[in-house]
């Protein structure tokens, strides 16, 4: 083994190592404080979170994790969030697979118009779509009786405004990275375009597809703007429902923190598991 | 048999001519068929709402007409005139909110980019625990926007929050615990919360960009005697330029349109010092039920963002071209 004492010209100098240590420690603390506050407060009795803040709970209790389900209909909000996020993700991933395959494998008139529309709508402010969609839903309900505003279906449709362009854009990047030789080999074997998509491209792009799905799910799960307008008491999602803990006589900060932690776990877990694929996808999109 | 081959021959003779035609039609039509669902949904959720939004901005869509939009009277340019008349309350509030949003966005983008790319560059060489630290840094970005903002809201509470505990009782910086969620400090609270959520994204993108820089470049520079700081300045920063170009634009657009952070932090009505445009438009539309005015403001916001994006891409592309040449 080469001795560690020998310094190669590639080794960073002491000053660099110290700066690295200091900066990363500070950043680590900056990241840690809110996470610690969230976790420790979720294990505190109510008197602790109503008095001056303490770093260590007076005693540990798991009752916030039990009480939070009855203070507000959290399970109901949970189900609403899950249905809306899952449906909008599923719809946008299926549509995105078809259109990304077309954009990635064919050259046709209107291709640029389509891709630039998709790219630009991704960057438009949500409020721009919210007002007209709300008005359209209300007036469709008025004239035809089909209720869209305040329903989960309506919310699913509005969530496509951001999950769909994102999914298409990311999947085009993934499909482009799959060698065309695979398609050609399948065509020689007598596979049609749809067969090639199903048997070659989709299996090869599976990590990408899963990543896009997880990412869509995350954004839908965390969406606040549309959810605050397009839902009522029975269709409310977590994003809006968590505010109910504060509208009671007491502010149940310990239960809010417990609920925040519980609703974060599915998306944070999924994200951290897939972060490697996600990085690849984001750069595939941004390099172009 | 003979009859079969005889009758089978004429079609066989024409088939080679007809079949490629059919195949060509099918091949040309296939991409459009694949695009059809996406185009339908794009029309449904983007194109039609946008056109309706523009139409709404020329209508007097107050609370009386929201359930019956066809009866809304024409407003001409009134909504735009109202939004851009800086002598009345609506126009002044909008201008003020625009200024706040611009200051907020510039600060958050600058800080997030600085912290994110700084951390990514410091972590470029591998050391023990690097992978774990990278994953840990991404947690704030992975958290749903509202849980992050709610936690900060709790920390910014005046009497039972962690921030005042640190400032007043542990660092003894002041003896009067300040308010964070109302008044002048609310802007700082907003910026801190947004930076906490945003910088890991910059970190993620720059980390990925660094992986595309060839190690040969660094080795060659090291052999030429370049120190670590020189390598960062001469190799890392120029190589990151295309990544940074996209990153800064995306960060700008995200934060300029940010709604979740102020909405969760402050509730429906934010303090004037932290009233971002999205929330201002939201209040105009859903607190005052004036959709025409809200739409006009959204259209103005969109025009501004398009202008910024176009100018930004024009300038950065020109800079890139001149530096490449």
pLDDT number for residue A26: 96
Nearest chain A Cα distance for residue B88, angstroms: 23
Q: What distance in Å separates the CA atoms of residue A170 and residue B7, rounded to the nearest whole number?
A: 53
Residue A135 domain-assigned (yes or no): yes
Helices (H) and strands (E) in chain A, counts: 14, 0
Interchain pair B257, A126: CB under 8 A: yes
Residue A276 lies in a domain: yes
Under 8 Å CB-to-CB from A159, ≥6 apart: which residues? A84, A85, A88, A220, A223, A226
Angle at A185 between CA A183 and CA A191, to 5 degrees: 70
Q: Inter-chain contact B301–A125, Cβ cutoff 8 Å?
A: yes
For B69, which of A121, A135, A223 is closest by C-beta distance? A135
Task: Determine, for residues A253 and B66 on separate chains, whether the beta-carbon distance falls below 8 Å.
Answer: no
Residue A12 inside a domain? The answer is no
**pTM of the full structure:** 0.87
Residues in chain B with CB shorter than 8 Å from the CB of A238 are: 144, 146
Highest mean pLDDT among A119-123, B152-156, B168-172: B152-156
The dihedral of CA B216, B218, B222, B225: what is its sign? positive
DSSP B59: B
The answer to whether residue A49 sits within a structural domain is no
Of B52, B162, B204, the CB nearest to A135: B52
* Nearest CB neighbour to B115, from listed A27, A160, A239: A27
Reported as a pLDDT band with limits 50, 70 and 90, residue B267 is: confident
CB distance B52–A132 less than 8 Å? yes
Cα angle A268, A85, A260 (rounded to 5 degrees) comes to 40
When the candidates are 3.40.50.1000, 1.10.645.10, 1.10.3720.10, 1.25.40.10, the CATH number that belongs to B88-324 is 1.10.3720.10
Of A27, A131, A133, the CB nearest to B294: A131
- The beta-carbon neighbor of B205 closest among A51, A103, A286 is A286
- A29 in a structural domain: no
Interchain CB distance below 8 Å, A164 and B45: yes
Residue listed under structure tokens 């719809």: A91
Over the stretch A234-283, which tens digit does the pLDDT of each residue have?
A: 899 999 999 888 765 788 899 999 999 999 998 998 888 887 777 666 65
- Cβ of A260 within 8 Å of Cβ of B147? The answer is yes
Encode burial over B115-125: b for 16+ CB neighbours within 10 A, e otherwise. Answer: bbbbbbbbbbe
How far does the CA of residue B254 sit from the closest CA of chain A (Å)? Answer: 8
Q: How many domains does chain A have?
A: 1
Least confident of B66-75, B93-102, B134-143, B281-290: B66-75
Per the CB < 8 A criterion, the answer to whether A217 and A270 are in contact is: yes
Question: Worst-scoring range by mean pLDDT, B74-88, B176-190, B258-272?
Answer: B74-88
- What is the 3-state secondary structure of B261-272? HHHHHHCCCCCH
Q: What is the ipTM of this complex?
A: 0.88
Q: Is the Cβ of B25 closer than 8 Å to some Cβ of chain A?
A: no
In a domain, A20, yes or no: no
A28 domain residue, yes or no: no
- Expressed as residue numbers, the domain containing A100 is 64-287
CB contact under 8 A, B285 and A131: yes
- Is residue A202 domain-resident? yes
């Amino acid at each position: 083994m080469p001795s560690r004492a020998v310094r190669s010209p590639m080794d960073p100098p002491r000053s660099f190592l110290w700066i690295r240590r200091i900066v990363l420690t500070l950043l680590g603390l900056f990241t840690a404080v809110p996470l610690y506050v969230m976790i420790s407060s979720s294990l505190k009795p109510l008197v602790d979170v109503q008095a001056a803040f303490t770093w260590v709970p007076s005693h540990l209790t798991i009752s916030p994790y039990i009480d939070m389900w009855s203070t507000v209909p959290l399970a109901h909000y949970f189900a609403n969030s899950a249905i809306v996020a899952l449906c909008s993700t599923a719809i946008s991933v299926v549509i995105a697979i078809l259109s990304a395959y077309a954009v990635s494998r064919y050259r046709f008139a209107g291709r640029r118009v389509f891709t630039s529309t998709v790219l630009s709508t991704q960057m438009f402010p949500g409020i721009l779509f919210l007002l007209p969609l709300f008005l359209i839903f209300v007036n469709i309900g008025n004239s035809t009786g089909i209720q869209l505003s305040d329903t989960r279906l309506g919310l699913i449709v509005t969530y496509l405004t951001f999950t769909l362009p994102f999914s298409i854009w990311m999947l085009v990047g993934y499909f482009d990275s799959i060698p065309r030789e695979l398609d050609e080999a399948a065509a020689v074997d007598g596979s049609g375009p749809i067969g090639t998509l199903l048997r070659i491209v989709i299996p090869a792009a599976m990590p990408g597809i899963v990543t896009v799905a997880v990412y869509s799910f995350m954004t839908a799960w965390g969406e606040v703007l549309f959810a605050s307008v397009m839902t009522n008491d029975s269709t409310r999602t977590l994003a809006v429902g968590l505010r109910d803990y504060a509208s009671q006589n007491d502010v149940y900060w310990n239960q809010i923190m417990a609920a925040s932690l519980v609703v974060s776990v599915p998306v944070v877990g999924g994200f951290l598991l897939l972060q490697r694929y996600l990085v690849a996808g984001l750069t595939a999109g941004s390099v172009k | 048999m003979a009859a079969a081959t005889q009758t089978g021959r004429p079609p066989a003779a024409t088939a080679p001519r007809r079949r490629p035609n059919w195949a060509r039609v099918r091949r040309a039509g296939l991409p459009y068929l694949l695009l059809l669902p996406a185009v339908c949904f794009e029309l449904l959720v983007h194109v039609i709402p946008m056109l309706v939004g523009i139409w709404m901005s020329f209508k007097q869509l107050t609370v009386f007409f929201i359930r019956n939009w066809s009866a809304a009277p024409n407003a001409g340019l009134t909504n735009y005139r109202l939004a851009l008349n800086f002598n009345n309350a609506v126009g002044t509030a909008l201008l003020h909110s625009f200024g706040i949003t611009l200051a907020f966005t510039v600060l958050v983008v600058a800080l997030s980019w600085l912290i994110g790319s700084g951390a990514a560059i410091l972590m470029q060489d591998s050391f023990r625990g690097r992978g774990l630290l990278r994953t840990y840094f991404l947690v704030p970005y992975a958290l749903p926007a509202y849980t992050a903002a709610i936690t900060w809201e709790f920390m910014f509470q005046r009497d039972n929050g962690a921030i005042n505990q640190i400032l007043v009782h542990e660092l003894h910086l002041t003896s009067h615990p300040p308010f964070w969620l109302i008044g002048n400090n609310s802007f700082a609270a907003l910026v801190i919360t947004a930076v906490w959520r945003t910088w890991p994204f910059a970190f993620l993108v720059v980390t990925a960009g660094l992986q595309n820089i060839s190690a040969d470049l660094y080795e060659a520079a090291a052999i030429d005697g370049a120190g670590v700081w020189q390598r960062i300045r001469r190799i890392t920063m120029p190589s990151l330029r295309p990544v940074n170009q996209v990153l800064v634009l995306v960060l700008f657009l995200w934060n300029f349109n940010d709604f979740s952070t102020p909405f969760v932090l402050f509730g429906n009505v934010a303090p004037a010092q932290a009233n971002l445009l999205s929330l201002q438009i939201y209040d105009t539309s859903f607190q005052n039920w004036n959709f025409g005015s809200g739409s006009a403001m959204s259209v103005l916001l969109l025009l501004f963002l398009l202008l910024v994006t176009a100018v930004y891409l024009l300038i950065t592309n020109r800079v890139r071209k001149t530096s490449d040449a």
